[in-house]
Amino acid sequence: MFRPVTEQATASLMQPGPREARPLPARMRRPPAARVAMAQGAYWLAVGLWPVLDLKTFLLATRPKPEGWLTKGVGMCLTTIGLALGAAGARGKVARELRVLGASTALSFAAMDFWYAGVRRRISRVYLANGVVQLGFLAAWTYAAWRESRDAHRPPEAAFA
């Protein structure tokens, strides 16, 4: 029987171009909004679970409160928001609604913290630190929106340069 012989190159001498190269791992190509969502989600998950899991130490750090159930309820709400943001960030696609939720909730908590801990002095000064963290998240959301907008308006790179 006749067997056709084919020559196959064992090694390619050419390097693949940027379009042919394998995509970067998800952790390296994650957009800025996804990174902010993961960071804010992790922070709110930890802060939200703290009063639920150990109310006694939470009250030691933030002063006693008349309603323990309310503190736990706010903690569970933060935990839920943190889980949603973290899951969207880990997936790498953060919907516009979740971006608005993350930024507006950070702004709301910062305003409450500065008003009631700073101006009115009704709650512990520890909340001022949380207000600064929330302003940091708000700045990070703003930067992520700017960066993604800038990258979207760049001209595409040449396929063959």
Distances (CA, A) of 60 to 83, 86, 98, 117, 135: 26, 28, 33, 16, 25
Q: Which amino acid is at 94?
A: V
What pLDDT is attached to residue 151? 83
What pLDDT is attached to residue 5? 59
User: Which residues are CB-contacts of 45 (< 8 A; sequence separation ≥ 6)?
Assistant: 78, 79, 82, 83, 86
Percent of the chain with pLDDT over 90: 73
Question: Looking at 22-31, 49-58, 77-86, 141-150, which range is the least confident one?
Answer: 22-31
Q: How confident is the model at residue 17 (pLDDT cuts 50, 70, 90)?
A: low
Q: How confident is the model at residue 8 (pLDDT cuts 50, 70, 90)?
A: low
Assess whether pLDDT exceeds 60 at residue 52. Answer: yes
* Mean residue pLDDT across the chain: 88
The residue with greater pLDDT, 4 or 33, is 33
88-134: pLDDT as tens digits: 999 999 999 999 999 999 999 999 999 999 999 999 999 999 999 99
Percent of the chain with pLDDT over 70: 80
Q: Which amino acid is at 84?
A: A
What pLDDT is attached to residue 20? 63
